[in-house]
Structure 1
Amino acid sequence: MTILKIELEWCRDSKGYDLVDIPKRGKWIIGKGGPPERYNPFEMSDVPLLAFANAHSEEKLRNFALRYGYLTTRGYSAQGEVQPPVTSVRRFHWDSEGAITGIDQNASVQHLEGESVDEFVAVAKLFKRVLALTSGRLSRSLSGEVENLLLNYGSPNDVSFNFNIDPMRRLHPVILPGSLISGLLVQLAQLAGGSSFKTCQLARCGTLFAAGGRSGLRADAKFCSPAHRVEHNSRTRSKTARKPSA
């Protein structure tokens, strides 16, 4: 399959993001309200798709947000700017159901900005399961989960198609998603089922990584880094040495 270029003008909060515990809503990732840093996440040296697929805990999802920003436009205004967040939840008054019942006079935001950690950790885990497939064919159960994923985040109105002429005067088709999660879904559809994605065999790791090609790792690599290969082999030797001889 031809991999089409993805162009997205996105932004991240220059002051970073906090994990905030909202009553009855769980943990949320909320920007600190710094000036937006604009960039194209699909032109970075690393692969945002892999970074998201490995964001399977609240801290890893926060680290993803620090590098890439929010996944959807819900945390941003219509202009794409980072809204002033609920910086200090102390300025807000919550009831036991997590609803905002009051707000201090000097606070500038009257609604919750940010994204649910539980929601997107679950989505990240699903991305990882799809990318770990050795073929492009989904199981019946996984197919149903992916269909729900597309219903929630894969609106065709959020992705458009265009053409660009590069500096060498060559014509290229490009995909224009309306949000980071839409762009990641495009990458997922283009790259899922390839043999280039592996799961690190070190028991304590389990990171999904790219092998072969320009990844710097052999196509048959079993570990995400040489250090993890050495650690795995060392642990295996230690277990063998502890076994009583017959």
Structure 2
Amino acid sequence: MSEPILRVESVTKTFGGLHAVQDVSFEMARGSIVGLIGPNGAGKTTLFNVISGFYKPSKGRIAFQQSDISGFAPYRLAHLGIGRTFQIVKPFVGLTVLENVMIASLCRYPKKKQAESHAWNILELTGLADRARLPASGLTLAGRKRLEVGKALALEPTLLLLDEVVAGLNPTEADQTISLIRKLRDRGISILIVEHIMRVIMNISDEVVVLNFGQKIAQGRPEAVAKDPAVVEAYLGGELR
């Protein structure tokens, strides 16, 4: 069995006297999709920000490909192969869709011509190539979310952290995004995804980690987690659907 691509070991993050995340541990298998879920205020975003370097853990350790990355800045993680999207998408609205992805591509390809070629490949993959020359400000919400994914992919990550890339999309747009996520996994990218839409999490995740009040209350296959009494109680009754 191969080493996990990501290992979160007893991670705690406090803000003053508040334990936003408390003693959370889990591992991610290489090439897997892991869903991170929980009710509002469960600590999902805080844990996401600790893993991606925006917060330093108060306690605990994070290992990526067997190396300790605890407290590394986001730019260092990007160079190591960790990319992330943000729940609130903020493209460079004064630039074209292509230029947005080119900026991220410069992290790997410092020469403009190479960065542009790489950006075109990303736009083909994400279905945005036909809007490459348009201003990013003209994209729909679905287009902006795909652009957010594209910018993260331009870093050529081996681990991709997706923060609510389906929320707010209509069913057709959601299915297209689910298809893209599966395509990325098939290309060997490991994916950790935070999402409120349970249909998405249950359909695409190999494993699900559930937080509540900053603590991990369950982990396992989606079908098992959906029937876990602690998870059902956390979501105020009824199986997750």
**Normalized against structure 2, the TM-score is what?**
0.30
**Normalized against structure 1, the TM-score is what?**
0.30
Which protein, 1 or 2, shows the higher relative CO under an 8 Å CA cutoff with sep ≥ 6?
A: 2
